[in-house]
Amino acid sequence: MLYYIIDDDLIDDLNRGMMRSLRPDSKRDPDDVTDLYASIVTHPVNGDTALVMDDGSHTVHLQAQSMPLAGVYNQMRVRGTIDMAERDAMMDFLTDNKGEVVVMRDFIPPSIPANTYEDLDAAGWFPAQGE
Q: Give residue 28's pLDDT.
A: 73
Q: pLDDT under 50 in the chain at which residues?
A: none
For the chain, the structural domain boundaries read 2-122
Q: Give residue 38's pLDDT.
A: 95
Q: Give residue 93's pLDDT.
A: 92
Residues 12, 91, 96, 50, CA torsion sign? negative
User: In sequence order, what are the beta bridge partners of 97?
Assistant: none
Q: Give residue 4's pLDDT.
A: 98
Alpha-carbon distance 3 to 55, whole Å? 11
Nearest CA to 116 out of 44, 46, 41 is that of 41
Q: For the chain, list the strands marked E by DSSP.
A: 2-6, 39-42, 49-53, 57-59, 101-103
- What does DSSP assign to residue 115? B
Q: What is the pTM of this model?
A: 0.89
Residue 70: count of CB within 10 angstroms of its CB: 15
